[in-house]
Each structure stands twice: as C-alpha cells, then as structure tokens.
A and B are shown apart, each in its own frame.
Chain A
Amino acid sequence: MAEVRLVDIEKKYGNFLAVPKQSLTIHDGEFLVLLGPSGCGKTTTMRMIAGLEDITSGDILIKGERINDKPPKDRDIAMVFQNYGLYPHMTVRQNIEYPLKLRGVSRADRKTRVQETADKVELGALLERRPSELSGGQRQRVALARAIVRTPSIFLMDEPLSNLDAKLRVTMRAELKHLHHELGVTTVYVTHDQMEAMTLANRVAVMREGKIVQLDTPKKIYAEPADLFVAGFIGSPSMNLIDGEVSGGVFRADGVEIPVTLEDRKGVVLGIRPEELAITQDASAAISGKLYALELTGESTLVTLRNGTTSACARGHADFEADIDSPCHLSPKDGARIHLFDRASGERLG
C-alpha cells in the first residue's frame, strides 16, 4: 500500500513562505495532479515528497512511515523531470539500467528488465543510441522507462510533457494514462496545463500561492469550482466571468439579466461556461451585446459578444456565421449551471 500523506507540511526559503502549512493524502494507486500557475508551489511540494527539498516543518509519510529524514534513494520513488534529466553520456540502455545497477540487480536480470521496459514504451530499437540522438518524445519515453524499470511505489512527474509539441503531448498523455492503468502505481503529477490535469487525474489539487484551494475529481472541479480562481483556471475556453450585482433575484450587468437565487448584493461575479450558453435571435435573451469575435475551432465556433464591461463567449455550431458588430444574444441552456462568486474574496456564493 503506497499511500502518501503530507501532514502540516510547510516550506520557507528564508523569510519567503513558498508552501504554507497544509495537509494532503494521496491514496494508494491514485493519479493525483497538482495543478496551478507558475510559482504556485506545486513543484516545491513534489520536490519535498522526492526528498530533493527539505521541509521546514510537518511530516511526510509514505506507506505510513515518516520519511522526512530519508534520502531520496530510500523513499522508493521514481521521478520524471521536465527536462527529462537523462544522463547524456550514457546510451538509452545504460540510462534505463542505471537505477537497477545502483541497486545491485544482477546483470542478466538487468538485461531482461531493460528490454521489457523498453518494449513497453516502444524504445526497443533505440537502446544503443545516446539521448542527443533522440527526439523530444523519445527522450521523454527514456525518462519514463528509467522511472518504471524498477517498479517503485510512487511516481513523481514534474511537468513531463511541457517540452513536447502539442500533438506529441496528446499522444504521450494517452500513453501515460495507459501506463498508470497498467501499473497501478501511486502517481503525483505536476502541471500548469489544466487539460492535462483534467484528462489524467483521478483527483486534482488546484494550488494557488502555495495553498491547495480545491482538491477533488476533475469532474467535480469543473462542475463546481470552489472559488473564482479555480473557476477561471479550469476549462478551455475558460468560464465566462461577468462582474455585476444582484437585485430582486436578478443578476444584472451591462447587457445581462439572469434570474438567480441570491439576496441583493453588490460586487458579484456570475460564472457560466461557454458550452452552456446558446446563441439565440431573441432580443430579450439573458445576455445581449454586439458580436466581437468569431473563432472557428473545427468542431465548433467560439462566439464572443461584448456590451460595456461585459464580455461573454459561447460555443456555437461550426457553421455559425454572423457579421462582426452585429447584435448578438446568448441565453443559458436548460439545466445550465450558474456560478456566483464574491468579487472581493473570490468565495463561492452559490
């Protein structure tokens, strides 16, 4: 059972608080993604688990054992780095073999396991090449193979796909997901790409300024963002966030009138996802304005309207066409989720 528990861990660099005191439990076999913008403390958190960074206070437990003072090699972890971290002077075979060699695995056993692992990540034919002779995707596979070759209890992956081009990233994402399904090893994955987080994770921990602001399944985080930050961070295109106020059970902003269940108050942000807005000809629709932009994405067209301070985007049919600056109306679809947040604190109101 490779459960990882972070208990009240905190990280300070001098006077700078990188990760404020917090706790997190990563279940056995789980694929947990630490998601957040650059500098939010996600990599620091992962490096603390790896033992590459000392923790200022708190405890880290792996399989119930406190490992604060254990060196990285004794934590039974494997890590995949953003820049691969391959040994440039070694061949692919030697790179994959290295952790086994250091752990005293016999030569014959090493040979078999390296071949098996290389085949698993489709590197079998490249074993005698050096990293400099490989493409980005192949290098990433070597890094993966080196991590899985000794079947550790925990995988740590620090933005492993961020150096790959968009197409390769999608392919590798699927491979990672399949690999996790096949091996069932507890995995902690750091990324700033919400799409990666949504597609890979069993649970996502959204981080901001060192703190975990929401920890839940991707579905739940998408459907019920805990606060304004999460609402804006998750989803592509991101959720429409419209500044306005509530009076008489109606949310009002420039060109917007949507009935809501909230007492009268100012400084309210209404959130609604683009796919939950329908384009309509009805002039009395909930959101009205002038067409600002049309963006064809292939399977749909993103329609953006503006009215004063209001800007809203809807996902329309791929064939939708209209003139820029022509009147445009959007209304929430049946069953659309309307999110309300407090502008000042970002807290969810309903």
Chain B
Amino acid sequence: MQDRLLPYWLLIPAFVIVLATTIYPLAYSFITSFRAWDLTKSRRPGDFVGIDNYVYAASESAFLNSLWVTFVFVITSVVLTVILAMALALLLRRKGPMHTFTRIILILPFAMSPALIGVSYRFMFNPEFGVLAKGIGAVFPALQGVPWLADPQLAMGILVLTDVWHWTPYMTFMCLGGLASIPRETEEAARIDGASNLRIVFGIILPQMRGVILVMAVLKTIFALKMFDQVVTLTGGGPGTSTETLAYFIFNVGFRWFDMGYASALAWILTAIMMFISIWYVRMLLSERKMATA
C-alpha cells in the first residue's frame, strides 16, 4: 500500500510549486479579468463586472492600436526571420573553410539579452553619435541626421530589425537541422532530372522543409506576440504609441495605470491568441506527421 502511494507523495512538491507559480496566478488573473480593480484605490479586487473589461477592450482605441502594432510587428518579424534563416542555412550547410567559425559567430546574437539588444540599438541609432546612424549616413548622405527612433515607421523598422537580428541565428540552426534530414538523393535526382539550383530550392528542398518551417513560424509568432523587452529599452512604445505592442500595453495598463481588472482581461486576450495559434500548430503538425507516416 505504502509503495503504491509513494510516487504520489514524491510528486507533491513539484505539483505544489506548479500550482503556486502557474495555475494559481492564471486562475487568479482569469477571475480578476471579470472584476473591476483599481490598485491605487484598493489592495483587493473589486466587484464582478461580468465581461465589461472584454467589451471595453473591443472598443478602446489604445488597445486596438496595440493589437495592430503587434500584428504588423509579428508578420514582418516572422516572415523576415524565417526567410533570412532559411537563406543563411542554405548557404551554411555546405562545409567550407569558415564553416565552424561562422556557426560559432552566428549563435552570439541569440545569446544576448533582448533588453541589452534594445539598449545597444538605441545607442547605435542615435542620430548624433550612433555608429549605425553615422555609418548609414556616410553611405547614403540623404539619410544623414535622420532621427531614426523618432519616426513611427523607422522606429517600427528598427524594432523589427533588432528582433530579426536576435532570432535569425537560432532559426538558422533549426533550418540546418531540417536540411540535414533531407535525403541528399532527392536533390541529386532533381539535378539529374534537369532542375536549376533555384528550382531545387523551391521545388525540392523547401517542400521537404514544410514541417520545420511550420514549427519555426509558430514558435517565432508566439515569441513575437510577447515582444516586450526591446520595446521597453529601445522605443518605450513610441514615438507616440507607434511601437506599443500588446504585451507592452498590458504592462502599462497594469503597472502604470494600475487597472488590474482590465490588464488581466487584456492578458487573457493575448493568451487566447497564443492558444489559438498553438492549437492550430499542433493540428497542422499532426496532419503533417500523419502524411509522412502514411
């Protein structure tokens, strides 16, 4: 009898930790999302307001703006990262003299803290002393003195750039793993069949990378949806609210304006989006596997 219960006793510490750090906050925030709670007035959640917080979100322009900003950021960042990672992987898969060195160098951007990347790029794009701002100005005189982070479009561009720079190496390694699993014979058969290099990439290699690209795109989407650190240290959501992503907006609502009920509702909207993508991803992956093993 004792032996049968032992595994459950051993599981209790881990279960308690997960309960305390994940399940409880999630459940608490879910309940809070249906209540009014101004932290400046009360230390405890206020009255139940039903779905008012969610209804308000649907009509609030600041939230809708952050949703749009996040959408633009996610699409550009994911597309660029995946394309760049795939291109780099195709270049790096053949062994050459700089092979190992390049791979080591490649991992460095991913090893850096996102907050630090934001600070670095903020300095590098400073119109007065930023090395990148100066460099671009030297190459393209028309761009001299451009206030990069003061322009809404350019600021968004730079935010995307930092994220692409940060994530491309990791995604490149994922692509390299995927490429290594493609049988060499398929490419050679295509070469003999008469395919050009471009056709081999688009007609033979990429279709076989579908599964890997799908995983990459979904992972990157989820991470991009949570974009926060670089926004804080690079643009502060500005100029105006042009780079205010959903995660950053939720942070502001909760910890600047202390509207915890509304912030919880927004956090659950973000969670719902991510859950929706995750479920879609799992379904796609399962159908992919089914096709491969049929």
Contact = CB atoms under 8 A, between A and B. Distances in A.
Contacts of A98: 190, 193
Interface stretch (A78-86, A228-236, A258-266, A299-307): A78-86
Contacts, number: 64
Interface in A34-90: 50-52, 71-73, 77-79, 81-89
Interface in B132-159: none
Given A88-B208, A89-B208, A132-B293, A83 B183 contact: yes
Contacts of B194: 73, 99, 102-103
B259 to A, nearest CB: 50
B188 A79 contact: yes
Given A102-B195, A132-B292, A132-B293, A87 B188 contact: no
Contacts of B189: 79, 81, 85-87, 146
B188 A81 contact: yes
B183 A85 contact: yes
A159 to B, nearest CB: 12
B181 to A, nearest CB: 11
Given A81-B185, A83-B185, A85-B186, A73 B192 contact: yes
A83 B185 CA distance: 7
Nearest to B199: A102
B107 to A, nearest CB: 28
A84 B185 CA distance: 7
Nearest to A47: B188
A89 B195 contact: no
A99 B193 contact: yes
Interface in A95-141: 98-99, 102-103, 130, 132-133
B180 to A, nearest CB: 15
Interface string A295-334: 0000000000000000000000000000000000000000
B204 A78 contact: no
B5 interface: no
Contacts of B191: 51-52, 71-73
A130 B294 contact: yes
Contacts of B185: 81-85
B207 interface: yes
